[in-house]
Amino acid sequence: MGRIVVISTGGTIASRWQGAGFAADADGREVMATAPLPEDITIEVVDLFSVNSPRLTTAHQLTLLRTVHEVLADPGVDGIVVTHGTDTLEESAFLVDLHHHDPRTVVFTGAQRPMGTADGDGPGNLYDALLTAASTRGLGVLIAFGGRVHAARGTVKTQAVALDAFADPSKELLGKIGFGKVTMLRAPQRPEPLPLPAMPEVPPRVDVVMHHADGDPVLLNAAVAAGARGLVLVGTGAGNATPEIVDAVRDAIARGVLVALTTRVPAGPVTEIYTHGGAVDLVAAGAVATGTLRAPQARIAVLSALLASEDEAERVRILRRSVSSDGPALVTA
């Protein structure tokens, strides 16, 4: 079925007991030794780094993105599996997907239980990811977890500790894995991929601010004062806040800050329904509505737009394209 490169980055799938809790400790070869291999697959391992995923930085993620592109420069590679901590997996997978222009599949996976435990889910997830990487094409970046296949775009961690950790709350299941077979149920929609960005010496700061009852512009203004070049406002409902926050968003945009608007509601799109500080006013002030993308992936979209261009209008155009799910169904089995 092919030659698969496994890029190891740490996470629970590579974690062992450290005396007070678990932490990433094992290298990629140790992780691979825990899992059975699908038939006719050969494996190569790249040990990129080994960290708990809450500690990931933009520099880590951009290094991962460039490594994926470097691996795929070899035409003999048939697919990639990335082992990753679950806390920020949805961010890294979406970043890679935004820049993925190759028909070969990149599959992210991980575990909810540490390696070496009797009921560990890492080996099964890794087997499924290898099988998915070897048997699919043209689907962009995928997440294989708990016997299910998810598109990177829109998929978030929905369970803190349960084994079925990931889902896209706004869409139907993409695929499933069982009995040595991957079954795709629908095709993911993806916009045209972005070019590979340069590695900045200092990545742009992108902050996330959530609205709530009694919410005011203090934290949003503090982020701008701290040097944020991008902001994600997490609104209530369909993407709503207050007139005071609308004014703060307008002021931030006037200062060159790129602002995206999402919602704290698990499912459904940001929608321009309400005024008096609602999404109608926020979008009119210049915020870019992110559809069904939630805060972590909206932040990645803002980051990617900032890295793609120095022109403010072009950044807005790139952000609008990146948050849209409109695009061809890219499925070639």
∠ CA 88-248-233, rounded to 5°? 20
Q: Which two tokens stand for residue 38?
A: 């699908």
Q: Is 97 annotated as a binding residue?
A: no
Which residue among the candidates 9, 83, 86, 290 is catalytic per the annotation? 86
Q: Is 53 annotated as a binding residue?
A: yes
Q: Are 107 and 79 in contact (CB under 8 A)?
A: yes
Clarify whether 86 is annotated catalytic.
Answer: yes
What span, in angstroms and rounded, lies between the C-alpha atoms of 320 and 314? 10
Strands 166-167 and 156-157: antiparallel
Q: Is 83 annotated as a binding residue?
A: no
Q: Count other Cβ atoms within 10 Å, centred on residue 266.
A: 11
Q: Which two tokens stand for residue 25?
A: 């400790």
With residue 51 as reference, give the H or E element that holds it: strand 41-51
Q: Which two tokens stand for residue 268?
A: 């459904």
Sign, Cα dihedral of 238, 244, 245, 248: positive
- Per-residue DSSP letter, 12: G
Tell me whether residue 149 is exposed, middle or buried, using C-beta atoms within 10 angstroms of its C-beta: 0 to 12, 13 to 18, 19 or more.
Answer: buried
Clarify whether 12 is annotated catalytic.
Answer: yes
Q: Which two tokens stand for residue 81?
A: 């599996």
Q: Binding site for substrate: which residues?
A: 53, 86-87
Q: Binding site: which residues?
A: 53, 86-87
Catalytic residue annotation: 12, 86
